[in-house]
Amino acid sequence: MTARFMNNTKYANTEFEMQLIPGFTPRKSGMSLSRFEYSARDCDCKTCAYKTRKKTCGSATGCICLRERLVAGCVPLNELLGALTKEVPSRPFVARVTHLSRQPISIFENSNHQMRFKAAHKENPNCSAGQAAAVFLLTADPFLWSKARPAVTKGNIDFPAIHIHGVDLDGYVLFHTAKDLYAGTKHISLSELTDPELVSDTAFRLIVTAFLIRRYGTEVLCAERSDS
């Protein structure tokens, strides 16, 4: 927890503002992307195995169910990015996602990120999509993960117990976006996400992937092999 020395004085607000990372302000409102979550209700296929809980798909013309195709690794990331921009029709957001989709996309920051995430997910394979998305972001930064790891348990992330003093700007953005996706809070606004001076291309790419994990589950990780 950040130390407050000026509480109950006229300088309390000034101290609070001085301890914020430049460019970001506390907020109680904004646009939350954490509420998007794919479910059987989103599929209108009457023969969908995911919806009817059958073992196989009954469609004779080929599977059109996004959920089944995700599990099978048949949905490229670009298709998921296109679906995301339709759900979030903000011009700056769409423009930045479109720019992202024109570049070679890798789900993980690097092989070490992949190893950290897989190890954490292996310890809690049945966690919610919100927790998986949060852990994805927390494990992207090794320093941030060293701070967060003790607070991540089965079915829970104790964000108040994570002390992020010393993280860089990207780490700050990843932490608070992870918290937003997990808890449904709105600390990072959409306008801040689309500002390249506040959110780097690397952090933005990771955050967009986390949005997709929160929306569709860890099956999104299969999408990378669809693009190869």
Q: What is the pLDDT of residues 3-23, one digit of tens each?
A: 555 555 545 544 444 444 444
Instruction: Write the pLDDT tens digit of every residue in 136-161.
Output: 999 999 999 999 999 999 889 999 99
At residue 43, the pLDDT reads 54
Residue range 104-143, pLDDT digits in tens: 777 889 999 999 999 999 998 889 989 999 999 999 999 9
pTM of the model: 0.70
Among 36, 81, 32, 38, which residue's Cα sits nearest to residue 179?
Answer: 32
CA–CA distances in Å: residue 177 to residues 104, 172, 204: 23, 9, 10
- Per DSSP, the three-state class of 153 is strand
Contact present, 24 and 198 (Cβ < 8 Å): yes
d(CA 23, CA 27): 13
pLDDT one-digit tens code per residue, 158-204: 999 999 988 999 999 999 999 999 988 878 888 888 888 889 999 99
* Higher-confidence position of 186 and 66: 186
Q: What is the DSSP string of 90-149?
A: -HHHHHHHHHHHTS---SSSSHHHHHHHHHHHHHSTT--HHHHHHHHHHTTSHHHHHHHG
Give the 3-state secondary structure of residue 207.
helix
